[in-house]
Amino acid sequence: MKRIITYGTFDLLHYGHINLLKRAKELGDYLIVVLSTDEFNLNEKNKKCYFSYEKRKALLESIRYVDLVIPETCWEQKRTDIHEYHIDTFVIGDDWKGKFDYLAEEGCEVVYLSRTPEISTTQIKQDIMSGQKKQ
C-alpha cells in the first residue's frame, strides 16, 4: 500500500482544496491529512481560522479522498509523521516549492502540486470583505 501525506489549514474549504486532495490521493492508496490545530495556526502561522479545528477535521473526514486526519501541532513533526505512518510520498502545494525537499532524506518522495490558480481562502476572504461574488 502506498501512503501519501499532506499538510494544511483547510479553512473555508473550497474546490481548490478538493482538487489538491483528489490529486494527492491519485498518487497512492491511503491519504493522511495533517490538519493545523487552532493553536498552531495562531501561534506559528499568525492565522485565525474561521472554523475550529474540530469543524475543519469533520469536513475533511467527509471527503472520500481522505483516509485519516491527524493534528499538526509544530513544524518539526513532519519527520516523525513520515516514519510513524510509513509514508511513501509527501505532497504539498507548489507555493512551498523547495521548502520540504529535505524530507527526501527520510526516505519518501516529495511532490509539489500546482494550486488551482483562481481560488484561495485568502481570495475568498477578500472577496467577501469587498462584497464581490465569484462566478
- What is the separation of C-alpha 135 from the centre of its chain, rounded to a whole number of angstroms? 25
Residue 78 annotated among the catalytic residues of the structure: no
For residue 30, how many C-alpha atoms fall within 13 Å in the half-sphere facing its CB?
9
Residue 97 annotated among the catalytic residues of the structure: no
- Which is the catalytic residue, given 22, 25, 45, 125? 45
Distance between CA 96 and CA 80 in Å, rounded? 20
- Which is the catalytic residue, given 2, 22, 25, 47? 47
- How many other C-beta atoms can be found within 10 angstroms of the C-beta atom of residue 82? 20
pLDDT digits (tens, 9 = 90+) for 37-73: 999 999 998 888 989 999 999 999 999 999 999 999 9
Distance between CA 90 and CA 32 in Å, rounded? 10
The pTM score is: 0.88
For residue 127, the model assigns a pLDDT of: 63
pLDDT surpasses 90 at 116 = no
100-113: b (≥16 Cβ within 10 Å) or e? beebeeeebebbbb
pLDDT digits (tens, 9 = 90+) for 67-105: 999 999 999 999 999 999 999 999 999 989 999 999 999
pLDDT digits (tens, 9 = 90+) for 125-134: 666 677 766 6
For residue 131, the model assigns a pLDDT of: 72
**Domains of the chain with bracketed CATH:** 3-130 (3.40.50.620)
Distance between CA 46 and CA 37 in Å, rounded? 12
